[in-house]
A and B are shown apart, each in its own frame.
Chain A
């Protein structure tokens, strides 16, 4: 029983400390009221390293998912969330990049000649609607959190890829232990990441001044 209490204490003490590992990086952003929406302007160029940049001309599609969430300064539940998906493919024969952007503002398709241009479009966030103004009361303080994933893998695909880990070489005569046993034992264990890269950033606190 003492060991159990020690374990509980460890979970309580150590868990929150390590939870800080995924803490978002602070990045200054610009917020503007446009029509009935609050929009943000910033960039996510840190998402791409050289390998990801090279991958744009592979001919295979690359996808960026930008998830937005506006939080009250002292709250843990977002007041509004949104998502934008940007997909790029390289047309080998016409030697151009085709980019499709889908989000709250509808669907747009752009074509550009050079990879650097494509990267700029993919990583620039300009006047992206993040909330309806009605959801952001005057004088209340908020911050925006962005979670940006490059080539995210759906949970279903991830489960399919990792499924082989839990599949052994079939079962023997005895089935009882198989059903009641707690965990598979695998001693070779390659990991597939949830996404090629993930960028977590948060804005400086902001508020809407009364007109």
Chain B
């Protein structure tokens, strides 16, 4: 019943967003059209050597046989619709006379660019892993078909925690955002993780000596599949499914010696031996930022609801809801901006360990978990002196940050640099386990697993990527 209520809430949210998105209008151009009436006799496409012509034709808002005024919005948008594919460095449009009066032939000249992209680089060192190195790459236009193929691999050396091992993980992904030019898209991925999870058996939160930890090995293999539907040009709905097999060797009865000498049992949130996770879910994404790299206006909302159930042949009955919202308000003609970022999640039921919220997910001053590998045992920096033993995993977590960014420079990209921003941000993050408040022997404030997050630095936007030189980024690679 609880899940049904959650689904209903998400649908209401989606509908509300659709209403608000349809209220936005392009204010720059007049609505009505003028100029000669044209009949598009043919559309000629030149310059595409790798990309199939059909992919470009599908993206165009015009087609042979269309009758429209010369000022029609579809003609104005034609160039941008092709650019939005992401496969071209430049697109030029023109028209010439057709075979009879009133007919025109549209000419589209494209300049292709490389579509192999380096999505992520992972590297760093921590006490748990003396070095870790990984890469995630993608080809956005596989064989010119408009299909995106991507994959990543990471290797992390063992740091000597009892029970751990060298970790590695690999992933391959395939996505087509527009099946046969329709609003429907499809995504799929396969992931294999050969990992070991570290857990504390003794010592206080700040004591990261590896003798205070043990580890257990596990193997994960599974896939996630999604069908997507573009509700509008800026909003996308997805239906997802996941099948995953987990194989783990759990300790018989793991315990932790607390700083006061008591011994407490540890729940590792996994079934011993082999277990299966099967889920179904719903995702929503609406992105109105005019620039996803250095945003100074607009916003983005993403949400994901996922449920795993024995009715789906899953060994885990649980549900997760994650949402993220960010909005940017321009100041002083968009040279400065104030941004608000809210991200949060809730996990209910008996969720597997990997589906719970990890502290590195919400606190960027800690090492994240690339491809699901946990690579650090560092405790969060204690700024507010709230609860000392903050959990590594939780059922309820989130972060709220406010960021101020100042435009350092903007350029046309002639020197391969488009712009740079200086920014400073601060916020509150929190991560709690369900039992934190049911069974507590301290005051509310001291039991509150929240703390402060701060970051500052420089972002440079270049034609080979975005470079972040920030305090949190550095801390996340070394602690």
Contacts and interface: CB of A to CB of B under 8 A. Distances in A.
Interface of A: 3-4, 7-8, 10-11, 14-15, 18-19, 21-22, 58-61, 63, 65, 85, 87, 89-94, 98, 100, 102, 109, 152-177, 179-194
28 contacts: A4-B454, A7-B422, A15-B408, A18-B408, A19-B332, A60-B79, A60-B94, A89-B36, A89-B70, A92-B97, A93-B102, A100-B30, A100-B34, A162-B291, A169-B140, A172-B173, A172-B191, A173-B222, A176-B361, A180-B362, A182-B341, A183-B468, A185-B120, A187-B465, A188-B114, A190-B89, A190-B463, A192-B80
A52 B70 CA distance: 18
Given A4-B471, A180-B361, A171 B189 contact: yes
Contact of A159 (B191, B298, B323, B357): B298
A91 B291 CA distance: 35
A175 B277 CA distance: 14
Contacts of A63: 28-29, 76
Contacts of A89: 34-36, 70-71
A131 to B, nearest CB: 20
Given A59-B94, A161-B80, A169 B150 contact: yes
Interface in B249-267: none
B335 interface: yes
B430 interface: no
B354 A174 contact: yes
Given A159-B234, A162-B290, A179-B322, A61 B35 contact: yes
A163 B322 contact: no
B418 interface: yes
Contact of A160 (B233, B291, B466, B468): B233
A194 B298 CA distance: 14
A60 B75 contact: yes
Contacts of B410: 21-22
B372 A174 contact: yes
Contact of A85 (B30, B297, B399, B468): B30
B57 to A, nearest CB: 18
A161 B465 contact: no
A143 B441 CA distance: 68
Nearest to A173: B191
A163 B230 CA distance: 12
Contacts of A171: 173, 187, 189, 224, 226
If over half of A's interface residues share one DSSP class (helix, strand or loop), that class is named, otherwise mixed; here it is mixed
B390 interface: no
Interface string B450-479: 000010110101111110100100000000
A187 to B, nearest CB: 4
B113 A170 contact: no
B343 interface: yes
A169 B463 contact: no
Given A63-B29, A165-B86, A18 B463 contact: no
A38 B165 CA distance: 78
B388 interface: no
Nearest to A7: B456
Contacts of B233: 156, 160, 163
Contact of B115 (A3, A10, A175, A188): A188
Contacts of B409: 18, 21
Contacts of A162: 289-292
B389 to A, nearest CB: 21
Given A109-B34, A177-B369, A61 B71 contact: yes
A187 B138 CA distance: 10
B435 interface: no
B380 interface: no
A163 B292 contact: yes
Given A61-B71, A93-B97, A165-B292, A186 B36 contact: no
B149 interface: yes
Q: Considering residues A3, A8, A172, A185, which has the most beta carbons from chain B within 10 angstroms of its beta carbon? A: A172
Contacts of B304: 175, 179
A172 B71 contact: no
Contact of B399 (A18, A156, A180, A189): A180
Contact of A183 (B94, B138, B466): B466
Nearest to B71: A61
B424 A11 contact: yes
Contacts of B24: 156
A190 B224 contact: no
Contacts of B97: 92-93
Nearest to A165: B292
B343 A180 contact: yes
A157 B291 CA distance: 11
B336 A92 contact: no
B462 A170 contact: no
Given A4-B424, A21-B409, A61-B70, A173 B404 contact: no
Which 9 interchain pairs have the tightest Cβ spacing?
A169-B150, A170-B187, A7-B456, A59-B95, A187-B465, A15-B406, A89-B70, A164-B86, A89-B35
A14 B471 CA distance: 19
A158 B457 CA distance: 26
B276 interface: no
Contacts of B80: 153, 157, 160-161, 192
Contacts of B343: 179-180
Nearest to B150: A169
Contacts of A10: 422
Contacts of A164: 84-86, 140, 177
Contact of B104 (A61, A92, A102, A193): A92
A173 B94 contact: no
Q: Considering residues B89, B114, B293, which has the most beta carbons from chain A within 10 angstroms of its beta carbon? A: B293
A194 to B, nearest CB: 8
Q: Considering residues A91, A155, A179, which has the most beta carbons from chain B within 10 angstroms of its beta carbon? A: A179
A167 B341 CA distance: 19
Contacts of A92: 36, 95-97, 104
B248 interface: no
Nearest to B97: A92
Contact of B371 (A60, A157, A165, A172): A172
Given A59-B70, A189-B464, A179 B456 contact: no
